[in-house]
Amino acid sequence: MAETQPAAQPRSWSGRMRSLLQLRDYRLLWASGGLDNTGRWMDSVVMGLLVLDLTDSAFQVALLFMFRWSPMLIFALISGMVADRSNRWAIMMVARIVAVLATSALLVLVAIDRVEPWHVFIASFFLGCIFVLEFPSRRSLIYDLVGSERIVGAMSLETINSTLGKFVGPFMAGLLIELAGFTGPYVCLLAVYILALIFIFKVESRGPTRSTVSDSFWRTVSRGLTYSLKNNTIRSVLIVTFIFNALSFSTESLYPVVARDHLGVGAGLTGILIAAPAIGSLLSATVIASLAVVRYHGRIFCLGLTLQMIAVLFFALSPWYPLSIVMLMVAGLGAAGFSAMQTSIIMISSEPEMRGTALGMLGHCIGVAALGGLAIGTVANYMGAQAAVAISISLGLLLLVPVMVFSPLVRHPTAPPPID
């Protein structure tokens, strides 16, 4: 049963956040999301370091990134349509169960010392599948619970959640690898995913119990594509997201290689390095969540992305570990604004029956990172990881800055679609 929203929002930031967390089902979703984010960042770092340990190849590490993000490229629109037509709670339950099974399999292989790179690639692919399956269902259900007036606060809390996971996950991954090898983090991951499954199980709001859409699959695909591209605001977010993920997002896959080969640090300090953006993101997300009203979501979106990319460029050029930490913290400041506004703009600008499909289109644009990972891995194989990151970010900035400057995102406030 959906929960009734309060008629008026508290004015203070703490009051608004408390009012959101007083919604039982949102609170459970938020808690499960925090555990899931921690687990995703932990297994991302553990898998990257494990493949690097097994193969000593920057290309193989980038290939792992491709396996993780290719499901988003392939299945995102389908998952968006499923979110519009199906029981969202059931989708999230299936996703959590698959995460538990995939992690259990890797734990056994690592514990008996029989793990091979292809095992990690397959597990990464399945974990990518559950992310794309859950992505639109989770966000659509959150919107159903909190409404358009509180969606920015809810997405900011989600970003804070993601940020905490991005800090705790890599930090714990590096620490546990140093203390207990690769078995330690997988034991921890299994416990995290089981607890997240329990929280989802307790959620009562289930989303639509039957489809309200009678169109065929291909008609729905065509309708979703046409709808997303005709809406100027949604189209601008999709174009910016596509370019960023095609050229620049996949640079994260090479952070462990940069840390080892250019900064000369081990697993523990690599975990801290990868966790560094979370500190900046936490500060930024907290500020965004404190805003009572946001009208120009697109300006925060564009400024955040630009700051993130400039900081990552300086990280790629940095020869010192402390400076690299600072640059990634600054990158986190921008990433939180970009991330919180990306989903908020899509959901505010979409008609209710097209929200999941529009998020599916966004997922396809994010999934292009799979191809970006393959490209940057090839460059890193010939020129080194540090040069590959710098080249990728520079190309992204050259294309994105003019696109953002001339887009409606910076000129017009974000508003819901008109009611016919």
Q: What is the pLDDT of residues 246-300, one digit of tens each?
A: 888 888 889 999 999 989 998 889 989 998 998 888 888 777 766 656 677 788 8
Instruction: Give the DSSP per-residue string, 400-417.
Output: HHHHHHTSTTTTS---PP
The pTM assigned to this predicted structure is: 0.76
CA 190, 193, 195 angle in degrees (round to 5)?
A: 110
Q: Which amino acid is at 345?
A: I
Q: Which amino acid is at 71?
A: P
Q: Compute CA distances 164 → 42, 168, 291, 299, 332, whole Å.
A: 12, 6, 20, 24, 12
- Residue 232 is predicted with a pLDDT of 85
| Rounded Cα gap, residues 234 and 241, in angstroms | 11
Burial level of 223, CB count in 10 A (0-12/13-18/19+)? Answer: middle
Nearest CA to 352 among 174, 135, 158, 140?
Answer: 140
- Residue 2 is predicted with a pLDDT of 44
Nearest CA to 42 among 148, 156, 196, 150?
Answer: 196
Which residues, at least 6 apart from 4, have a Cβ–Cβ distance to it below 8 Å?
none
- Residue 217 is predicted with a pLDDT of 64
CATH 1.20.1250.20 fits 13-208+216-405, yes or no: yes
- Residue 4 is predicted with a pLDDT of 43
Domain layout of the chain by residue ranges: 13-208+216-405
Ramachandran category for residue 291: left, alpha or beta (phi over 0 → left; psi -120 to 50 → alpha)? beta
Q: What is the pLDDT of residues 233-242, one digit of tens each?
A: 888 899 999 9
Q: Quote the percentage of the chain above a pLDDT of 90.
A: 36
Q: Quote the percentage of the chain above a pLDDT of 70.
A: 89
Crossing angle for the helix pair 151-180 and 321-349, to the nearest 10 degrees:
140
| Rounded Cα gap, residues 172 and 179, in angstroms | 10
| Rounded Cα gap, residues 325 and 258, in angstroms | 12
Least confident of 29-43, 279-293, 374-388: 279-293
| Rounded Cα gap, residues 163 and 38, in angstroms | 9
